[in-house]
Amino acid sequence: MTPQKRHAFYAALRAANPEPKSELVYHSPFQLLIAVILSAQATDRSVNAATGALFERAPNAARMRALGVAGLKPFIRTIGLFNTKARNIIECCAQLLERHGGQVPADRAALEALPGVGRKTANVILNVAFDQPAIAVDTHVFRVANRTGLAPGKTPRAVEDGLLAATPAEFLSHAHHWLILLGRYICVARRPKCPVCPVQRWCEYPDKTPA
C-alpha cells in the first residue's frame, strides 16, 4: 500500500468515527489496566459484566490488593483463565503500591515488569491512558493489517513495527481503536463485510466479498 493510500485509508476511518473509544468500561488508568489484563482471551462484554461490581468494591490498587486472590476470584469467575488472572492482578497491585505509589506507570519497561502485563497490554495502556503513539496488535489488528495490505507481517511484533512506520503521525493517537473496531465488526475473520467497509476502496484484499 502506497503512502497516499495509507493516508486515505486512515482518513476514511477518521471520517467514519472521529473519536473512537475503547469498549472496555473504566474510570482510571488503574481500572483500564485491570480490564485489559482480564480481557486476554475474553470478550470486552464479559469483562465489563464482571468489572462493574469489582470496580465498585475495589476501585484502586490498595482496595483490590486487600481483596486477595480468594476475594477477587468470585468477581471474575465468569472470565476465562480467572485463576491465573486473579493471581497476576493481586501481585500486580502489590507491585504498583510498592514501586509506583499505587499509580500506573506511563513507561513501557515499568508496565511490562508488572505481572500479567505483556507488550500488547502495555501498548493499550500507553496509548489509551497516556496518549502515547503505540499500537496494540491483537488478532483483529493482525488480520486487518495483513488482509488490507496496510502493514503485512508474519508476527504481531512485525505488524506492530510496520503499522508504526506506515501510520501518518496525525492518525497515531486513534489508529489502535480504528483498526480493532474495523476488525471486530467489519473486517471479520470468516466473511468480511466488504460492501459496507469504509476503506474498501484502498484495501488490497484480493477476494473482496461482493454485495
Catalytic residues: 120, 138
Q: DSSP for 15-63, please give it.
A: HH-SS---SS--SSHHHHHHHHHHHTTS-HHHHHHHHHHHHHH--SHHH
Q: How far is the C-alpha of 131 from the C-alpha of 129, rounded, in Å? A: 6
Q: Which residues of 175-188 are buried (b: 16+ CB within 10 A; e: fewer)?
A: bbbbbbbbbbebbe
Cell 467514519 locates to: 16
What residues have CB less than 8 Å from 80, skipping those under 6 apart? 41, 42
